[in-house]
Amino acid sequence: MESLGPFVPLILLFVLFYFLLIRPQQKQQKKRQEMLKSLKKGDRIVTIGGIHGVIKEIDDTAISLRVADNLNLKFARAAVDRIIEEESE
């Protein structure tokens, strides 16, 4: 039992890192994956590059985004940063 003495602070440090760094990052990553899965035609989004637009077509790996009249851009699905929620008046 005395041989575990020096390792107790190291184990506690690992547990602390897990709950302060690793677990919150996993939750955030899961939330992002759910957001990407929930994308649908007509959603207003912002890409990681800051481009705003409306989804016109979507498949497993890419989306076609209407940015302006007669201007559609194709992005990887992972390039979506967030969905813009419609503001209720």
List the domain boundaries for the chain: 1-38, 40-89
Measure the CA–CA gap between 57 and 66, rounded to whole angstroms: 9
Q: What is the pLDDT of residues 27-61, one digit of tens each?
A: 999 999 999 999 999 999 999 999 999 999 999 99
- The pTM (predicted TM-score) of the whole model is 0.73
41, 36, 46, 44: which is closest to 77 by C-alpha?
Answer: 36
Q: At residue 21, what are phi and psi to the nearest 5 degrees?
A: -120, -55
Q: Does residue 67 contact residue 53 with C-beta atoms inside 8 Å?
A: yes
Number of neighbours of residue 65 by Cβ within 10 angstroms:
24
- pLDDT at residue 4 in the model: 78
- Name the class of domain 40-89: mainly beta
Q: How confident is the model at residue 88 (pLDDT cuts 50, 70, 90)?
A: low
Measure the CA–CA gap between 24 and 2, rounded to whole angstroms: 34
